Amino acid sequence: MKTTEDGKIRYKSDIVLRQIRTNVLTVLSYIFLIWVWQFTLSLQSSMYTLMNVAVFVMWAFGAAGVILCKEDREVIIKHTKHQIAYYLIVVFVYDLFLRVVVNGMNTSVPGYDTDPSLAVARQFLLVVSTMLKIGFPIAFVIWMIQKFAIFKSGLSKQRQMEILRNVRKGFSPKNKKENETFEKDNINNRY
Amino acid sequence: MMDTFVNFFKNLWNFFVSINANAFWTIVYYLSQNWFIISAIIFIAVLMYTEIKINTSHLIDDRREMY
């Protein structure tokens, strides 16, 4: 806050500037991710549809997780963005490597036959590529399903931990009144 | 006076024609037919909106969006 020559008060806050800066960076990060998505897929041929659907499913699970798991929003957003970025970048880099190696294996020097075991090595590298392309999204979806299991039926994380400690009490998700009764005999509620 | 008025509408019309010539609206139309792209944009918008909310809540120290 400072006073101008007219005697009027003017508020000068850097919070607004920081807010604008972080928001612009956030939007740019998503535009970058969409660009990486399209760029990496433009180099794919037979795996194009699979990878397109995989990234789509990752976005979908990320959005559902952000809506359903309120306490873990920050972690879910960060993990979704990192997983999609690593997925696309790792696939891009591995396929660059694969293209060079597989093309090198196909060429043979005149007068010499190619080693038949090279075909096995080539197939192994191709299978690794496929495992990367399928494994990343499956790992992310499983991680998100674990989150859904924690936050199921609108429970908070604290409540879920209490329920897991009181397994013997017999928790029923439909009868909420019964769950809120304080059990003095339970060792977890004593201190 | 009337000439200027007519020229204004002529330029306005040419403006829309030029947009179509640049294929902008055609691209928008094709994208609007694709449920895959529409739903991907919705998912990304949800994530983006939440991240902006969380960034703001860090700046002004108000965590109601998270808990």
Phi, then psi, of A111 in degrees rounded to 5: 95, -15
pLDDT digits (tens, 9 = 90+) for B8-44: 889 889 888 887 777 878 888 888 899 999 999 999 9
pLDDT at site A162: 75
Instruction: State the DSSP string of chain A.
Output: -EE-TTS-EE---HHHHHHHHHHHHHHHHHHHHHHHHHHHHHT-STTHHHHHHHHHHHHHHHHHHHHH-STTHHHHHHHHHHHHHHHHHHHHHHHHHHHHHHHHHH---TTSPPPTHHHHHHHHHHHHHHHHHHHHHHHHHHHHHHHHHHTGGG--HHHHHHHHHTGGG---SS-HHHHTS--TTSGGG--
Give yes or no for a contact between A59 and A30, defined as CB atoms under 8 angstroms apart.
no
Distance from CA of A101 to the nearest CA of B (A): 35
- A65 and chain B: CB distance < 8 Å anywhere? no
Query: Taking CA atoms, what residue in B is nearest to A73?
Result: B66
Averaged pLDDT of chain A = 84
Grade residue A168 by pLDDT with cuts at 50, 70 and 90.
Answer: low
Is the pLDDT assigned to residue A179 strictly greater than 70? no
Q: Look at residue B45 in the predicted model and tell me its pLDDT.
A: 97
Q: B30 to chain A, minimum CA–CA distance in Å? A: 17
Confidence at A41, pLDDT banded by 50, 70, 90: very high
**Residue corresponding to tokens 């691209």:** B27
Q: Given an 8 Å threshold on Cβ–Cβ distance, is A59 in contact with B54?
A: no
**Binary contact (B66, A73; C-beta < 8 A):** yes
Residue A185, pLDDT score: 53
Which residues of B are less than 8 Å from A73 in CB distance?
50, 54, 65-66
Per the CB < 8 A criterion, the answer to whether A65 and A145 are in contact is no
How does residue A174 score in pLDDT terms, banded at 50, 70 and 90?
Answer: low
Q: What is the pLDDT of residue A175?
A: 63
B-contacting residues in A 89-148 (Cβ below 8 Å): none
Contacts of B43 (CB under 8 A, 6+ apart): A56, A59, A60, A62, A63
Q: What is the pLDDT of residue A181?
A: 59
Locate the chain B residue with the closest alpha carbon to A59: B43
- Residues within 8 A of B (CB atoms), A 1-60 only: 15, 18-19, 22-23, 26-27, 30, 34, 52, 56, 59-60
A-chain CB neighbours of B66 within 8 Å are 70-71, 73-74
**Per-domain residue ranges for chain A?**
46-169
User: Residue B63: helix, strand or coil by DSSP?
Assistant: coil
3-class DSSP state for residue B66?
coil
The better pLDDT of the pair B24, A9 is held by B24
pTM here is 0.73
Give the per-residue pLDDT at A103.
Answer: 76
Put simply, the answer to whether B54 touches A23 (Cβ < 8 Å) is no
- Tens digit of each residue's pLDDT (9 = 90 or more) over A97-125: 998 888 777 667 777 777 778 888 888 99
Question: Which of A15, A20, A25, A26 best tests the B interface by mutation, with the highest count of B CBs <10 A?
Answer: A26
Mean pLDDT across A154-177: 68
Question: What are all long-range contacts of A97-101, with beta carbons under 8 Å and residues at least 24 apart?
Answer: A98/A125, A98/A126, A98/A129, A101/A125
pLDDT digits (tens, 9 = 90+) for A44-75: 989 999 999 999 999 999 999 999 998 899 99
Q: How confident is the model at residue B64 (pLDDT cuts 50, 70, 90)?
A: confident
